Structure 1
Amino acid sequence: MRRIVQWVALVMTLSALCAQEAMKCPSCTARAEIGKILASAKQPADWVKIHNGIMWVVQGRNEDEGKAIQKQMDELAKAMRDENVTLCSECQMQRSVMRSLDWEIVKTKRGGILVATSTDATMVTMLHQFADEQQRMQSQAAPAVPAQPTPQVEPASQDGTKEFAGKGDGINTCPVSGEPVNKNIWAEIKGRKVYFCCASCRSKALKDPEKYIR
């Protein structure tokens, strides 16, 4: 009986330590804060597959939410880059994976985009599978939140910049510039592969897909 009590006490202690470790982890804290902003805005993050990796697109409803998201993304980037930052065991594993990738955070008006790429085909496949899994998890949770009508109404002509400006079909011509596409540069948008002439045009389209892609 005494051993059982000791075992239960040990498990409870370890659980408390794990919880404490997670609470102190700046990476976990940043992700949680981003999650709160997105939940409040009813704007889920988007996981986009590109030819050599993935993009984590995180956007709020306005510039104020965008700045709050950017602040947390900066904290997340610092935690992933600085070996002196103490992380929980799970985030330490993620940091070791991130070390093998080329990645950056691109800031947008309403948030940011984390771009993670690799020259290793196996790693790219794993990243694509990870993005698919994240999107699947989000779509399963989506019915509880009536977020679908909102994105469709917002791109309407609230201001002049929201008008459709697409110049190509995304198959043979770039939707942003109208130039011939580079078949090595693409992103999965609205359930299909969209090709671009350059990475810059791809970034523009991802920041505002309604403006360039139908």
Structure 2
Amino acid sequence: MAQNYRIYINEKTISITESAPEGINQSELIGVEQFDFSKIYFQVLNSTSNQFYVITDNAKAFLKRIIKSVTLIEAAGGLVKNKKGEHLFIYRNDKWDLPKGKLEKGEGPRAGAVREVEEECGIEISSSGKKICKTYHAYTIKGQVVLKKSHWYKMKYTGKGKLVPQLEENITDVKWFTNDGFALILSNTFPSIIEVMEESGLLTDGQEQQQG
């Protein structure tokens, strides 16, 4: 099975894949020869296109090459489900998001994911379960391109506590959503969050087609 990895730059996506999708536009292809991710980052950021592809024989090895070329920041977060079957989302910087944050020194991804959810939402997680996926998001710190690798886990909450947004992290709302409410999320969220929702099985085919 061909491997595929995605790196997100704001609303844009670089897909690192071993098989070219049908109907690909030549302008969306990024050459692998003399590939410099820091330069590619700014080219993608300033492009009018939102989707780009790197076609390679070994997608995993190519991703590792990118990771070695920039500063890597590890983070973790969770997709929390309550007893009613609702899922927890936060509203941060005018976007719907999932709770997550950077790992502390010596902290494992699962422990960090639980801590971040609890801190950002004001609840105590009952249990953490299956790992959903890893996502990659590139941005700049003081002009230098960095790559954030986020580990995502399924979690359960069985309590009845009041949700409390962590205002100092620019979170202004924390809310439980039923599946019928995902249209609001999909209309104003990040591509990486949509990937987590897809990988967790949260989206139906119809919802995926609407957001795509």
- Specify the TM-score bucket, using the shorter chain as the normaliser: under 0.3
More RCO (CA 8 Å, sep 6+): 2
Whichever of the two has the greater Rg, that structure is 1
TM-score by length of 1: 0.23
- Please identify which structure carries the higher helix content: 1
TM-score by length of 2: 0.24
